[in-house]
């Protein structure tokens, strides 16, 4: 999505992954977004497959956080950054590395753009080194970000 590889001093976009979320679990993720002050891009993985099963957003708006489920990946061409299409908006990392929205691309370009993005995503996932959980946090069900436990502590406890 064109997000820089280094940690920004005041970054507001967060990246999350877990198993697929139901409505109550999505509400927990929106609470974490509010507590953390971030707009997370959430990638869900089914337990039995390596490919992502869905992508969702939690976007801070006015008095709350909007949960936007099942967004579609989109790329304008083979070299364009990935974007996320949801309802009537297109979401991307803007010039200051903030999650930004704009109007959707033209309807006649959507299907091809989604095909390009999905193929690029699968290729990148196949080339990726195995996922590590270094610096990852686990938030217990019903908990808040303040209740998060570093993954390294979970391994020690097990």
Range of the domain at 23: 13-131
**Alpha-carbon gap, residue 51 to 143, rounded angstroms:** 27
In a domain, 120, yes or no: yes
Residue 79 counted as domain residue:
yes
Compute the distance between CA of residue 149 and CA of residue 137 in angstroms, rounded to an integer: 5
Number of domains in the chain: 1
Q: What is the pLDDT of residues 45-66, one digit of tens each?
A: 776 666 677 899 999 888 889 9
Write out the two tokens for 70.
Answer: 């099942």
For the residues 67-88, what does the mean pLDDT come to? 92
156 lies in some domain: no
Digit-coded pLDDT (tens) for 78-125? 999 999 999 889 999 887 778 889 999 999 999 999 999 989 888 877
pTM for the model stands at 0.73
């Amino acid at each position: 999505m064109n997000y820089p590889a280094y940690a920004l001093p005041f970054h507001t976009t967060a990246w999350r992954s877990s198993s697929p979320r139901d409505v109550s679990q999505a509400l927990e993720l929106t609470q974490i977004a509010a507590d953390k002050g971030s707009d997370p891009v959430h990638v869900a993985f089914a337990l039995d497959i390596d490919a992502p099963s869905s992508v969702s957003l939690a976007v801070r708006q006015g008095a709350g956080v909007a949960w936007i489920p099942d967004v579609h990946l989109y790329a304008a061409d083979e070299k364009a950054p990935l974007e996320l299409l949801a309802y009537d908006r297109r979401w991307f990392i803007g010039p200051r590395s903030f999650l930004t929205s704009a109007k959707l691309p033209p309807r006649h370009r959507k299907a091809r753009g989604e095909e390009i993005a999905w193929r690029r995503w699968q290729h990148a996932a196949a080339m990726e080194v195995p996922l590590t959980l270094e610096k990852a946090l686990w938030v217990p069900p019903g908990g808040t970000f303040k209740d998060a436990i570093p993954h390294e502590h979970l391994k020690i406890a097990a």
